[in-house]
Structure 1
Amino acid sequence: MEVTLFGYTEGQIAQFGLTFGVGAFILYMMFIVLNLALESKAGKFGTFILFLVLSLGMLGFVAKSVIQWVLGI
């Protein structure tokens, strides 16, 4: 017997939480990077470098989702 919550299976709820939960966390981390750049008065180039370096990990998560979508996994 498969347990459902509001008609969704456990796997569907976990996938939803992973996608939107991590997505929200990524947006929050972008806000932190922006705040760091503003407080340190990094300038345009410094802000670009901060976003580039500190956002590479987040880019990997987004790339994983896009690759799964393209391959239909």
Structure 2
Amino acid sequence: MSEAVFSQIAMAVLLTVLIGFMGFIVWDLAKKSQAGRFGTIALFIVLGAGVIGFIVKTILVEVMGL
């Protein structure tokens, strides 16, 4: 396995773990602050927008072939 393939696999796996951990942090924040259902949804939407933006950017770069 070449270094480039290893890096690509490691990046995908570690980014997935990081995004999952960030989701857990948001859930824990909502739980500890007693945000309720609406507050929890708002937290996930607002704080998850950065993750969604990162994913969309990655997809657009791959589609455009830059």
TM-score by length of 1: 0.76
Aligned counterparts of 1:23 and 1:59: Cα–Cα separation in 2: 12
Segments ≥4 residues shifted beyond 6 Å: none
The percentage of aligned residue pairs carrying the same residue is 36
Listed as ranges, the gaps of 5+ residues in structure 2 are none
* Residues paired across the two proteins, number: 64
Larger radius of gyration: 1
- Greater helix proportion: 2
Q: CA RMSD in A?
A: 1.5
Listed as ranges, the gaps of 5+ residues in structure 1 are 1-7
Select the residue among 3, 20, 26 that pairs with 1:10.
3
Q: Which has the higher contact order (CA 8 A, sep 6+)?
A: 2
